[in-house]
């Protein structure tokens, strides 16, 4: 497919993608849009001009507001039609929007827009689904011969995180403070984290709600998943090591998590569906899948010190994940836990088999024993004040490219 909109070479936002987001500008209040090249299609303008008049169930003002929740809640039958209609309007052969008097109003320059959180996130779950990451962590902190805990190959491990501190790309964070106690310390101390880390993750957004007591099968799970965002699960490793026993992550994680602003739909990722890694031993019946739920998504992480060039420190891929999205959602709801529109479910750190594919500084520097060398001099064991961490993601197959943009955030000193 080709478009009458000029799309830069290697753009993440091609005609095959068309992700949804919420934006505002100096002249526009928050509203829903679709990204195409360097432009944003203002969906409220298309709605007002009658481009969606034959699509039922679209209330007035559905595209105006600070979240996509109400729109997503209309169901995939509607959201898919909107995406397909915009795709048709943007194709090279189609003149309806290209020649329309409101074209200038409908096409907003992305550089003039401020991106907001795409959804109101009521709940957030963080999984631990990369066998390479879990093995690396278990090797570092426990017995290398028994790196995985006994339950790890039997269920998608996860915990309930803090939704209030999830922020969109571009918002800086302050170095967190907390308690820590190194092995050589007689007693714990309180202060700024000395081992601040990123975690390379993807997260899916749910588009349907359930009632308490209901469960979702692996077969039906994708009906409840609207799309994906990039996710940086910031982590304070020294605080985490001291506090996580016996209940798991708390202050080491809840100070901030950063997400990319554009939700890439499952429909856009269909070209890149791949087989999941083989699971041994065989999973229980409620976790078995009749089709593949893996996706070939290339992922990269860069560290950019203040006023210096960025260094690529990680190249990974979402296809490595041991537990897939259908299994994650089936397990989350297997006890009758209800879910809501806009809930976020992060994958856990995405690490591959090679050292350059490890999705955290904890692994890349192997707990600080192997510093990562930066392009313009210096090295990093963990993230320092002034550093910006940038994560990108994209899929490619032949001439088809679908990308996520980036999630980027700078670390400021502790308050």
Q: Give yes or no for a contact between 258 and 169, defined as CB atoms under 8 angstroms apart.
A: yes
DSSP output for 391-402: EEEEEEETTEEE
| Residue 22: strand pairing partners | 32
Q: Which helix (H) or strand (E) holds 218?
A: none
Structure tokens at 320: 């490595």
Q: Give yes or no for a contact between 178 and 252, defined as CB atoms under 8 angstroms apart.
A: yes
Query: CA 358 from chain center: how many Å?
Result: 17
- Nearest CA among 395, 387, 400, 207 for reference residue 313: 387
Beta strands 124-127 and 344-346 are: parallel
CA separation for the pair 276, 4 (Å, rounded):
37
> Positive or negative, the Cα torsion across 267, 269, 275, 277?
negative
- Nearest CA among 37, 118, 52 for reference residue 83: 52
Structure tokens at 370: 């192997």
Q: Which helix (H) or strand (E) holds 71?
A: helix 69-72
| Residue 39: strand pairing partners | 36, 109
Token look-up 């994560």 returns 391
Q: Which residues are catalytic?
A: 133
Q: Give yes or no for a contact between 327 and 181, defined as CB atoms under 8 angstroms apart.
A: no
| Residue 316: strand pairing partners | 299
CA separation for the pair 14, 129 (Å, rounded):
30
Structure tokens at 357: 């594919």
CA separation for the pair 30, 66 (Å, rounded):
5
Give the CA distances from residue 118 to residues 121, 228, 253, 302, 375, in Å, rounded to whole numbers and listed in that order. 9, 11, 21, 24, 34
CA separation for the pair 32, 71 (Å, rounded):
9
């Amino acid at each position: 497919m080709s478009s009458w909109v000029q799309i830069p070479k290697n753009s993440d936002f091609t005609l095959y993608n068309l992700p949804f987001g919420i934006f505002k500008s100096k002249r526009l209040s928050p509203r829903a849009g679709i990204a195409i090249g360097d432009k944003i299609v203002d969906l409220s303008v298309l709605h007002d001009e009658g481009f969606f008049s034959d699509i039922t169930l679209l209330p007035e003002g559905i595209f105006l507001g600070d979240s996509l929740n109400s729109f997503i809640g209309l169901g995939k039958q509607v959201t898919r039609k909107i995406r397909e209609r915009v795709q048709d309007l943007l194709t090279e052969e189609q003149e309806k929007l290209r020649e329309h008097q409101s074209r200038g109003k409908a096409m907003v320059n992305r550089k003039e827009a401020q991106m907001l959180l795409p959804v109101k996130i009521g709940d957030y779950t963080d999984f631990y689904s990369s066998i390479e990451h879990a093995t690396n962590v278990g090797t570092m902190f426990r017995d290398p011969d028994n790196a995985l805990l006994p339950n790890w190959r039997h269920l998608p491990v996860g915990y309930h995180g803090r939704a209030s501190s999830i922020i969109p790309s571009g918002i800086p964070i302050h170095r967190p403070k907390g308690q820590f106690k190194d092995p050589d310390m007689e007693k714990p101390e309180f202060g700024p984290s000395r081992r601040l880390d990123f975690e390379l993750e993807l997260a899916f957004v749910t588009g349907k709600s359930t009632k308490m007591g209901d469960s979702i099968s692996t077969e039906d799970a994708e009906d409840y998943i609207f799309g994906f965002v990039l996710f940086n699960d910031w982590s304070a490793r020294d605080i985490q090591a001291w506090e996580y026993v016996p209940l798991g992550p708390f202050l080491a994680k809840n100070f901030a998590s950063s997400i990319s602003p554009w939700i890439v739909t499952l429909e856009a990722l269909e070209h890149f569906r791949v087989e999941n890694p083989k699971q041994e031993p065989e999973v229980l019946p409620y976790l078995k899948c009749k089709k593949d739920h893996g996706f070939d998504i290339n992922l990269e992480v860069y560290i950019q010190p203040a006023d210096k060039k960025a260094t690529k420190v990680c190249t990974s891929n979402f296809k490595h994940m041991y537990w897939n999205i259908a299994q994650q959602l089936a397990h989350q709801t297997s006890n009758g836990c209800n879910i809501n529109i806009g809930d976020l479910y992060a994958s856990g750190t995405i690490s591959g088999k090679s050292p350059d594919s490890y999705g955290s500084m904890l692994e890349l520097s192997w707990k600080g024993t192997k510093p990562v060398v930066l392009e313009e001099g210096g090295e990093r064991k963990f993230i320092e004040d002034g550093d910006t961490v940038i994560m990108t993601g994209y899929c490619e197959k032949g001439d088809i490219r679908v990308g996520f943009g980036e999630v980027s955030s700078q670390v400021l000193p502790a308050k």
